[in-house]
Amino acid sequence: MDFLIDNTKLEGLIEFGETNNLKNEEEFLKLLKTSQLFVPVDLTKDIFTGLDFEGNEIGFDIKCLTADNGLRAVPLFTNRDILTEKKLETPTLALDMVNVAGIVLEGEYDVIVINPFTEMSTDISRDAFIGMFHSDYEDMTILDIIRDSSSKIDSEMRFYLRSDDDFMMDEAVDGIYVADEPLNVSSIDRTDSRYVNILEMPKSSKVLYIGEWEEANFDMIIAPESIFEHVRDISEDVHLWKCVGQPFFD
């Protein structure tokens, strides 16, 4: 799924001179500012449970690194292969740097480290990283992250949403269900809940990628307000839906 996130150009700029500084630091920082990187996180059991969507709850915590000198570092990775190679078994979120800056602003961090434990490792101080952005992040919500960091998929995909209640069918009007909150969906049908909703997302739909270290196993967050049309019932408890609109991004 890393075709959604391509940081090849950014990685090519991680080249060091004789003083161990980046040879093209200005160009690197300029590209970094508009990039998405993978951020290791601790997810709650349900990152949306109890969320006030107008508040400043983020719904997850960044897994930081603590150096011997006590400095707390935010690790960012340009691709998930690094996590796999280093056997770092952790979920990640693919986030825009503007959202990472907002999280860093609110937390007790000292430095941002890109690709730690590798030859492509480079770091930026907290103040320098935040200084790359000029927005006020005090009111950042999970909705801002979904809006800014969601990526378009380049082919039709299906995701699985399982639940103990048949809420999509129960809340649908004339076969149309409108999501009233973000939907946390999986690439595979892997839970024990009774009801299964298979969500067909057309090419160019937007999703927020939650990376898993296992290549065949990943999650996505689908934005609230996404509109799904009931296609057919595969069985009494399994329903197929097609996304026909995402006004959240309009």
Domain span including residue 49: 2-149
On whether both 112 and 216 belong to a single domain, the answer is no
- Taking the C-alpha atoms of residue 32 and residue 21, their distance in angstroms, rounded to an integer, is 16
Q: Determine the pLDDT at residue 198.
A: 95
Give the other-Cβ count within 10 Å of 229's Cβ.
16
Same-domain pairing of 7 and 128: yes
pLDDT at 213: 44
- The answer to whether residues 92 and 24 belong to one domain is yes
Q: How far is CA 155 from CA 26, 39, 172, in A?
A: 35, 25, 26
**CA 136, 137, 141: angle at the middle one, nearest 5?**
140
Examine the domain organization and report whether 74 and 134 are in the same domain.
yes
Indicate the burial class of 172 (C-beta count within 10 angstroms; 0-12, 13-18, 19 or more).
middle
What's the confidence (pLDDT) of residue 139? 61
Same domain, 169 and 141: no
Length of the chain: 250
The first and second tokens of residue 102, run together, are: 């907002």
CATH number at residue 184: 3.90.176.10
Domain co-membership, 185 together with 163: yes
Query: 14 and 137 in one domain?
Result: yes
Q: Do β-strands 206-211 and 227-235 pair in parallel, antiparallel, or remain unpaired?
A: unpaired
For residue 183, give the nearest of 146, 218, 231 by alpha carbon. 146
Total structural domains in the chain?
Answer: 2
- Residue of 220, 235, 240 whose CA lies nearest to 172: 240
Structural element, H or E, at residue 104: helix 97-106
Token code pair at residue 229: 């049309």
Per the CB < 8 A criterion, the answer to whether 63 and 180 are in contact is: no
Query: How many other CB atoms are there within 10 angstroms of residue 82's CB atom?
Result: 19
* 208 touches 219 (CB < 8 A): no
The per-residue pLDDT for 22 is 87
pLDDT tens digits, residue range 190-211? 677 889 999 999 999 999 877 6
Question: Is 27 in the same domain as 110?
Answer: yes
Closest-CA residue to 93 (of 30, 43, 143, 154): 43
Residues 199, 238, single domain; the answer is yes
- Tell me the per-residue pLDDT of 30-50, one tens digit each, with 9 for 90 and over: 999 989 999 988 765 555 544
Domain closes at, from 114, 149, 184: 149
Task: Look at residue 54 in the predicted model and tell me its pLDDT.
Answer: 46
- In this structure, the answer to whether residues 120 and 189 fall within a common structural domain is no
Side chain identity, residue 18: E
Predicted model pTM: 0.64
DSSP character at residue 223: P
- In order along its 250 residues, the chain shows pLDDT tens digits of 455 688 999 999 998 877 778 888 889 999 999 899 999 887 655 555 444 444 445 567 788 888 778 889 999 999 888 888 888 778 888 888 988 888 887 778 899 999 998 989 999 999 889 888 765 555 667 788 888 888 888 889 999 998 899 999 999 999 999 999 889 888 888 677 889 999 999 999 999 877 654 555 677 889 999 999 999 999 999 999 999 999 999 8
Of 131, 149, 167, the residue at which a domain comes to its end is: 149
Last residue of one domain, picked from the residues 128, 149, 170: 149
